[in-house]
Structure 1
Amino acid sequence: MLIDIGVNLTNSRFDKDRENVINQAQLAGVTKLIITGTNVVESQQALDICQHYPNLFCTAGVHPHDADNVSNGYLQQLAELAKNKQVKAIGECGLDFNRNFSTPENQQRVFTEQLELAKQLSLPVFLHQRDAFNTWQSLLQEQLNELTGGVSHCFTGNLEELKTCLDMGLYIGITGWICDERRGQELFDIAKYIPLDRIMVETDAPYLPPRNIRPKLKSSRNEPKYLPYVVRTLASAMKVGEDELIKHSSNNATKLFKLAG
């Protein structure tokens, strides 16, 4: 049983065949999916999809790219969504100083507000961070003792950042980035330092298709059915068996997100 903890299933690239994508994931052994919410509208869309499938769950949150565009009532809207039992975390929330699609000031405010919301609702956080580690870690550290846990989604950092995340008690989400020898070699090399009780796997579909898929994909669209390719490379990097990695990553996801069934 594989659990993909991060799928952008509301993305328009799935509009024509979303149901088939879900079915293909099941056939590939990816039995549960967590759909990522990136703003209020897409969090609602993610929940709408989940309500048709018992093995689909979602997050509700605002990605740092969308921080400039939040309404005055966005936190209440997220709280309303989170009343549904299929909403399992607050996020995707965090900081992204790589592109700065939203101002750093608004990113930090909206991130902090979502951390507060997660505390109030006793939900874990689904975390984003890019080129903002020190500020991200500082804001997170302030709230950490009262949070019910979280995962550093799509982790691509260095060894020092990995150890800091582990010291904070976070789970580590690994994507197909680790399958890319051009930019993922450092991640491959440090993956052995991730304890089995802190690892999770994800595709971040439709982004980051694993480069070890054979035959090579004709499309650049990633899908949850390709999660086994991430597992294969990650197991090699961690020097563990694939079955052992699947067991632990699934147990970790079930525990953090309180997944039923």
Structure 2
Amino acid sequence: LINLISRCLLIDRLFCLIVKSNKLMLLLLKILSIRIRKMITDVAPYKLIDIGANLTNPCLNDRNLCDVVDRAKAAGVCKIIVTGTSIETAKEAMRLSRLYPNYLFFTAGNIAELEKLALEPECVAIGECGLDFNRNFSPQENQLTAFEAQVQLACKLKKTIFIHERDAHSALVEILKKYSLILPYAVVHCFTGTAEQAKTYLDMGLYIGLTGSLWKDKLEFGVQYALRQGIIPLNRLLVETDSPYMYPNIKAKKLQTEVKEKVSPHALQFLHHCSFQRNEPCALPTVVELIAAFSGASVDDVAINTTLNAVRLFGLTSE
């Protein structure tokens, strides 16, 4: 009787183990299925190049930078150009570009060590340089002198110019026209001006860089108007996040419902990682989809054209 009871208990235990193992197997299969499905749906629908990100900013350039880069890659950003606005930031941008070879590149703009930094293989542009008569961080005469020297060096090295301009359109155009016959590629980054100003830049052969600030354009004949009217063609357009700034606030009341509805789940899932205080390169899909919504072009056309433009201007690859 004892033997029989023991055998029954043993059989019962074996049965329980089989049931548990089957449940465990089913659970593992379910987890695996979810992960495979996630891998399939997480594949970015396009390749993008962020031509301007301030990854040397303390809120991004920390021990979590690898997460920032991973999110950007998952979002479809295949290259990022880190902007150097001083000797210190340019050197730090160069260091970062060597931590992530063939993914991060940098610009150098400070005139003191500009030529030396510009000759580094990871340096793809002279800049950020230009004129800012809005905030006037330095006297306007000093800005004009420095910018012209930077343009001269860019012409000498045949290096793309990464331009910043605020309330200084006429002065900027005047300097650039002096070098029109030898001017290399140039992009007016984070453009927020009028359609007429955009047309002037385009007529001079320049490219236009747009960021997430597109959502808050208040001008009657501003960037949104220029896109709707086809004044800024796709073959002269570049995209950037200017992170950690220029967060694309697609929840803003002023943004038209039909525009909001065109932002895809793919873009939204990465935008959740960003905020007004800390925008990231992974927000670039939202920028591209906003441009598509305002211009009436397909997202694919915006993505393909802006990526090819960046490849051409900065001597990159899309791999």
Q: TM-score higher than 0.5 here?
A: yes
Q: Shift of the alpha carbon at 1:128?
A: 0.6
Unmatched 5+ residue regions in structure 2?
1-46, 252-267
Q: Shift of the alpha carbon at 1:21?
A: 0.7
SS across alignment from 1:107: helix
TM (normalized to structure 2)?
Answer: 0.75
Deviations 1:196-245 (A, max 9, x none): 11010000000010011668755521100001111111011111000111
1:247 matched to 2:304: yes
1:57 corresponds to which residue? 105
SS across alignment from 1:193: coil
1:33 matched to 2:80: yes
CA distance in 2, matches of 1:20, 1:245: 26
1:229 corresponds to which residue? 286
SS across alignment from 2:59: helix
1:153 matched to 2:210: no
1:18 corresponds to which residue? 65
The structure 1 segments of at least 4 consecutive aligned residues displaced by more than 4 Å after TM superposition are 181-185, 213-219
Q: Shift of the alpha carbon at 1:99?
A: 0.7
SS across alignment from 1:57: strand
2:238 corresponds to which residue? 200
One-letter code aligned to 2:182 = E
Aligned equivalent of 2:146, options 110, 120, 128: 110
CA distance in 2, matches of 1:188, 1:26: 28
1:97 matched to 2:133: yes
Q: Shift of the alpha carbon at 1:186?
A: 2.7
Deviations 1:108-154 (A, max 9, x none): 01100000111111101000100011011101111222121100101
CA distance in 1, matches of 2:289, 2:49: 14
SS across alignment from 1:208: coil
Distance change >3 Å, CA 18–CA 107, structure 1 → 2: same
Deviations 1:178-202 (A, max 9, x none): 1226579831111231111101000
One-letter code aligned to 2:109 = G
Distance change >3 Å, CA 219–CA 155, structure 1 → 2: closer
SS across alignment from 1:227: helix
Distance change >3 Å, CA 218–CA 52, structure 1 → 2: closer
2:18 corresponds to which residue? none
Unmatched 5+ residue regions in structure 1?
63-69
CA distance in 2, matches of 1:183, 1:26: 34
CA distance in 1, matches of 2:135, 2:167: 9
CA distance in 2, matches of 1:58, 1:219: 24
SS across alignment from 1:101: coil
Distance change >3 Å, CA 42–CA 94, structure 1 → 2: same
| Aligned residue pairs, count | 249
The answer (yes or no) to whether the contact 1:50–1:58 under 8 Å persists in 2 is: yes
Q: Shift of the alpha carbon at 1:14?
A: 1.0
Q: Shift of the alpha carbon at 1:18?
A: 1.6
CA distance in 2, matches of 1:183, 1:228: 24
1:48 corresponds to which residue? 95
Q: Shift of the alpha carbon at 1:32?
A: 0.5
1:6 corresponds to which residue? 52
Q: Say which one has the larger Rg.
A: 2
Distance change >3 Å, CA 180–CA 219, structure 1 → 2: closer
SS across alignment from 1:51: helix
Identity among equivalent positions (%) equals 41
